[in-house]
């Protein structure tokens, strides 16, 4: 967060941060960061309420994204795959068999090898 303090937060909307160590809200300019230890469904409920009918965006690593996918809370998803090896980590795709049945998937690879995967929920 230190980088945001000097320049002000860039969002201008409420931000819900999933954490196992809740702490008081942090207000930076027009952005309030809410630190929440709750299941994806509860966090999504809070975010939708705060958004008052506007879209809610989920950002995070594989564990967070899988939790929202498992709870069937994702309508669109953009995944960028960069061809580098960083070592060990969690796989976004672990336990996500059948995504192709729930989403239309479009993939585009750039000349540099970066691949963009765009998922759009079917039937909503």
Q: What is the pTM of this model?
A: 0.80
Contacts of 101 (CB under 8 A, 6+ apart): 122
Q: Could you confirm whether domain 58-124 is CATH 3.10.20.90?
A: no
Tens-binned pLDDT, residue by residue, of the chain (124 aa): 444 445 566 788 899 998 989 899 999 888 899 999 999 999 999 999 999 988 999 888 889 999 999 999 999 999 998 877 777 778 888 899 999 999 999 999 999 999 999 999 998 6
Contacts of 40 (CB under 8 A, 6+ apart): 18, 64, 67, 68, 70, 71, 73
Tokens of 16: 């819900």
Domain boundary assignment for the chain: 1-57, 58-124
| Nearest one of 76, 74, 1 to 31, comparing CA atoms | 1
| Nearest one of 111, 101, 110 to 119, comparing CA atoms | 101
């Amino acid at each position: 967060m230190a980088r945001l303090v000097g320049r002000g937060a860039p969002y201008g909307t409420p931000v819900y941060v999933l954490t196992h160590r809740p702490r008081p809200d942090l207000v930076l300019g027009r952005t309030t960061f809410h630190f929440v230890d709750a299941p994806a469904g509860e966090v999504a409920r809070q975010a939708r309420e705060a958004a008052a009918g506007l879209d809610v965006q989920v950002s995070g690593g594989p564990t967070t994204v899988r939790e929202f996918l498992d709870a069937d809370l994702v309508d669109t998803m953009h995944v960028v795959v960069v061809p580098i090896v960083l070592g060990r980590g969690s796989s976004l795709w672990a336990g996500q068999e059948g995504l192709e049945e729930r989403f239309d998937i479009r993939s585009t690879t750039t000349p540099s090898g970066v691949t963009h995967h765009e998922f759009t929920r079917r039937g909503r």
